[in-house]
Amino acid sequence: MWAAVTGRTLSIDVSQPTVVDRIQRLQRLETVIYTMDKLVTGAKENPIFPDFLAGDRLLMLVHGEVVAGIDFSSLKPGDVTVNDRQVRLRVPAAQVFSVRLDSAKTRVYSRQTGLLVPVDPNLETQVRQEAEQQLQEAALADGILRTAQQNAASTITSLLQGLGFEKIEFE
């Protein structure tokens, strides 16, 4: 109702051109995506004044993805050995490629700012950065790299069998 009285509407200007900074060739095989939710809190506190006067608190539910797989850019010619219908591969170790928060599903549920201080514009950014770190740590603890390595072996095996190889070994 208050928005109707104030008459404020959202206006976003997108008329400025987009500048491409870099185009990069990728040699990656994404083999697993963990989709996760996490409650994260952030707070700025004053050692002298109580929170209701000088504090800034934020409660956020973040929704994000952690993507892992194999980067083939480090593959060397000696890592693949072919002998008739047999192939032996030394596959690079799995790694986390990205951690992304889904802005459409991430929500700030509570924001409390003290009476004597303005809202800290950086607090939400800092909480989001910490949330990304926490999602990555949770995925690593849950074995995302092991799963990525197993899925890569399965995908490569299927591909090589489709090409006619009968025996596929991984080192």
Distances in Å between the alpha carbon of 56 and those of 48, 50, 124, 130?
A: 14, 11, 11, 17
Average of pLDDT values for 12-26?
78
Condensed to tens digits (0 to 9), the pLDDT of residues 26-75 reads 789 999 999 999 988 777 676 777 666 766 778 788 999 999 999 999 88
- Residue carrying the six token digits 């514009």: 121
As a whole number of angstroms, the distance between CA 70 and CA 169 comes to: 17
Which has the closest alpha carbon to 134: 58, 52, 68, 62?
62
- Gap between the terminal Cα atoms of the chain: 66
User: What percentage of the chain reaches a pLDDT higher than 90?
Assistant: 43
Condensed to tens digits (0 to 9), the pLDDT of residues 78-110 reads 899 998 889 999 999 999 999 999 988 988 877
Q: Is the pTM of this model over 0.75?
A: yes
Q: Give SS3 for 22.
A: coil
Is pLDDT above 90 for 135?
A: yes
Which has the closest alpha carbon to 108: 35, 66, 56, 65?
56
